[in-house]
Each structure stands twice: as C-alpha cells, then as structure tokens.
Amino acid sequence: MRNILVIGAGRSASSLIKYLLEHSEKENLHITIGDLSEELAKQKTKNHKNATAIAFDIFNESQRQAQIQKADIVVSMLPAHLHIEVARDCVVFKKHMVTASYVSPAMQELDTAAKVNGLVFMNEIGLDPGVDHMSAMKVIDEIRAKGGKVILFESFCGGLVAPESDTNLWNYKFTWNPRNVVLAGQGGAAKFIQEGDYKYIPYSKLFRRTEFLDVENYGRFEAYANRDSLKYRSVYGLDNALTCYRGTIRRVGYSRAWDILVQLGMTDDSYTIDNSEEMTYREFTNSFLPYHPTDTVEIKLRYIQRIEQDDIIWDKLVELDLFNPTKKIGLVKATPAQILEKILHESWALQPNDKDMIVMYHKFGYELNGEKKQIDATMVCLGDDQTYTAMAKTVGLPVAIATVKILNKEITTPGVQMPITKEVYEPILKELESYGIVFKEMDTLYLGYNPLNIKI
C-alpha cells in the first residue's frame, strides 16, 4: 500500500478525503487522517477499510515526525502558518508535500532542498489560489501558442450562497471562515494596474469601488479589488500587460452596505471593548456614534452615514439586529470585528438544507495579428450539502488529484511550486470537469478598461 498522510480534517478536507478513499482500491492507497479531534477524523473516514483516523498534535514533534516518516506523501490542510514545520520534516525524511495555501517566504526557502532531494512541494492548489492559477494559465498559454500577446488580465472569485438558499437581504451567507470575511481587505491598500496606470485603493474606500460582472444563468455580480493584484504578474508572465486586476465577488449591493459597517468602525480588530460581555447589540452600535441627548441610535446612524429611510441599505442593517436593546454580546474583551462576526453569524450561518456556490470569472484581453480580442471564462460550482460544499469541492478536489498524480509520477518537476505549468494544470483541469468544475470560455468584443463598468 502507498501511504498518504492528511493532516487536518476540517470542512475543506471533506471532498479531498472522499476522493482519496474512492480511489484507494484502484490506486492501492492507505490514508491516515490526523486531526486534533480524533472524533472529527473518524467521521471523515466513514469506517473505510483503507483509512485510519488518529489524534494528531502538530506541536508533538516525535508524533509528527513518526507519521511523516511512514508516509509516501503528506497533505497539509492546516492553517497556513503551520505548514512550515511539516515541510521541514518532509525535507528531512524525503517526502512529497501538497498544500492549498499561498507559498510563504519560509516555504520558498525550502525550494533548493526540495529540488536536491527530488521532492515535489505543491502549494496553492486549492480554489483561490489554485483553480484560478490553472484555469488562467491554460488560456494564457493557448493565447501565446497562437502568437498572441496578453494585454489585459482580470480574475474574480467568490464563495456565495446558492440561489435557492439565498434568503436574506444581503444575498450572502458564510460559506468559509467568517473571520476572514469580516477582516477582508485589511492590512494595506489594494493595488493593481489598469491601462498602464498603477492604482491604489485604501481600505476606507475599498468597498466603494466595485466592478460589475454578468454570468450567464446566474445574473449580475459585483467585485471589489483584492489586496495585491500585482503579485502574480511575473508568475504568469504578464509583466507587460497593461491591466492586471484580481477581485472578490459578491452579489450587487453587498459592498455598499458593508461599507457602512467599515465606516462605523465595526470591522476594526486592533483594540478590545472593555464591557463587551454585558453590552447589548444596540449599545455596541451606539458606541460608534456621537452622543445626543434626544436622538435615537437609528436617527444618529442614518444622519452620520447619510442613509435615507427607504434605502435598502437601512433594511439590511435592521435585518442584522444591530438595534436590539436586549440581546447581549456575551464576549469578554472582544474586538469590534469579533463582535460583528458573532452578530453576523446569527444572520448569515448556512442552515442545514442550504447550499453554497462558487463563482469564478476571468477576462483575457490580447493582441493577435494586429487585432485586439477578448476571452471571458466563467465557472459556477454548486455544493451538494453541508459536508460536500462547493467550497470543499473546489478546494479539496484539486489537492487530492494533485496528490495522486504526484504519487503516480505524472507530476515530477521538483521544488516549491504552484500549479502554473502544463504538466500540472492540464490533467487536473480535465479531471475536475468530471466533478462539475467546468469553465465556459467565450470570445467577446474587446473592451479593455471600461469606466462605465465601474461603480464609483
């Protein structure tokens, strides 16, 4: 048997583990699933004869090294900052490694060692990053193969609620880590290049600048800029592209309402509120507003944020129960962001029968034989249920497929890498299609940067 060690049995590992178990007979695999919660790991094995669940503590060095030493390949589904200890052990014991996380500087430092030992350290092989890299490079390489030159690249991705489960005014529910949603866009200005000009959007203005996207059969969406759209220009070979922009997708109207929470200060995670445990939702909202002897919290907020009473934004704020005078926060010395996350979770948690949806959208502008052309590529993936969500499928399946192909020596190029070469993306994208992760490519009229398509 060939042994695969999967570290981490959280939500994103569901489809990954299912794939490996389904292929275990044909591929002669035994999967060891390690998690801090042995019970969670056992749930994911579904009593399969080719799986073993263990309680696994990443900080237990002797256990970690013993399990890695027994494996032929290691899949780390841990939080990103914990991958490095696993990676160092993989170098020592000469084991291949796969993660869905961004390549960190510490991980990149292991590149030479991985190459010397003939090890494949595949990173960024989830959804975003992952499917976005593979689907983008496929089209970019095809354009170049025809003799074309890419002059525009825009890429958008979003984890959303499926249309049949869209039951609130925000048209949004948590399909991934709620904390990441609350803190989205913080930590520096969004930066990108558009028509040859470098652009920067500070966090305070981020949700006021959104681009519209139309996806066939699913309607209109909006997208706000990711923090660093320039990171992959060199990686994709787009240093001479006039436009390079990456964004996060939401339903139209989300960003304008979210901006109200940002401007109030509710997404701030830099300080704690001393009396947060006993504070009511209404008091929390009022804490960001000026004192007035007679005006209500509602009147003050509408005045400060210039919200008309018949504006849908107002209905969205009311729907969050922000003005409830009796409901208590119940969190000790919490930051505003932590409090907001708790409040939102009550309105935005996926219900047992809810399904999620992933939407990805790429735009490619290019020159070929003196003409400017454009290709739009879209992908929509719907979840099956609360376990095998669209997010779990689009993150876990690429990881699983890459793991098996590395074991089978179909992916052999050593080193710390991401899935941007034909050797990697071509077979994985082809197999993903059998799971409903399919990109629809359409040739369209080249528009370039179109200011009319931007909400200011």
Domain limits of the chain? Answer: 2-122, 131-257+352-385+438-455, 274-334
Tokens 């009550």 — which residue? 346
Closest alpha carbon to 130 in 12, 213, 220: 12
Tallying the residues shown for the chain, one arrives at 456
Report the b/e string of 339-370 with b at 16+ CB within 10 A. bbbbbbeebbebeeebbbbbbbbbbbbbbeee
**pLDDT in tens for each of the 456 residues of the chain?**
899 999 999 888 999 999 999 999 999 999 999 999 999 999 999 899 999 999 999 999 999 999 999 999 999 999 888 999 999 999 999 999 999 999 999 999 999 999 999 999 999 999 999 999 999 999 999 999 999 999 999 999 999 999 999 999 999 999 878 999 999 999 889 999 999 999 999 999 999 999 999 999 999 999 999 989 998 899 999 999 999 999 999 999 999 999 999 999 999 999 999 999 999 999 999 999 999 999 999 999 999 999 998 899 999 999 999 999 999 999 999 999 999 999 999 999 988 899 999 999 999 999 999 999 999 999 999 999 888 899 999 999 999 999 999 999 999 999 999 999 999 999 999 999 999 999 999 987 777 755 445 433
How far apart (Å, rounded) are the C-alpha atoms in residues 249 and 179?
Answer: 17
Is there a contact between 365 and 152 (Cβ–Cβ < 8 Å)?
A: yes
Q: How many CB atoms lie within 10 A of CB 214?
A: 12
CA dist 74 to 2, 39, 127, Å?
Answer: 12, 21, 19
Phi–psi pair at 64, nearest 5 degrees: -60, -50
Q: How many other β-carbons are positioned within 10 Å of the β-carbon of residue 313?
A: 18
d(CA 285, CA 279): 10
Closest CA to 245 of 180, 188, 197, 184: 197
pLDDT the model gives residue 99: 96
197 vs 230: CA distance, rounded Å: 12
Q: Are 232 and 203 in contact (CB under 8 A)?
A: no
pLDDT of residue 450: 56
- Distance, in Å, from the CA atom of 158 to the CA atom of 358, rounded to the nearest integer, reads 6
Contact 244, 233 (CB under 8 A): yes
Task: Report pLDDT for 449.
Answer: 58
CATH of 131-257+352-385+438-455, one of 3.40.50.720, 3.30.360.10, 3.40.190.290, 3.30.1300.10: 3.30.360.10
The answer to whether 173 touches 357, Cβ cutoff 8 Å, is no
Within 172-311, where are the H helices? 178-182, 254-264, 281-286, 297-305
CATH number for region 2-122: 3.40.50.720
Residue 359's H or E segment, with its range, is strand 356-368
Backbone angles phi, psi at 228, to 5 degrees: -135, 100
- Measured between alpha carbons, how far is 122 from 100 in angstroms, rounded to an integer? 8
Q: CA 387 to CA 352: how far, in whole Å?
A: 10
> Who's near 119: CB < 8 A, 6+ residues apart?
90, 91, 94, 95, 96, 97, 113, 414, 415
Q: Tell me the whole-structure pTM to 2 decimals.
A: 0.90
Name the residue type at position 232. Answer: Y
**pLDDT given at position 89:** 96
Outline where 99-167 has alpha helix (H).
Answer: 105-108, 111-116, 131-145
* Other beta carbons less than 10 A from residue 442's beta carbon: 10
Two structure tokens written together for 244:
């390079």
The half-sphere exposure of 41 on its side-chain side, counting CA atoms within 13 A, is: 20
Nearest partner of 136 among 232, 65, 202, 259, judged by Cα: 232
Q: Are 2 and 376 in contact (CB under 8 A)?
A: no
Edge-first strand order for the sheet with 2-7 is: 51-55, 29-35, 2-7, 73-76, 96-99, 120-122, 415-417
Question: Across the strands, what pairs with 4?
Answer: 31, 73
Q: Among candidates 212, 195, 175, which has minimal Cα distance to 345?
A: 175
* Confidence (pLDDT) at 177: 84
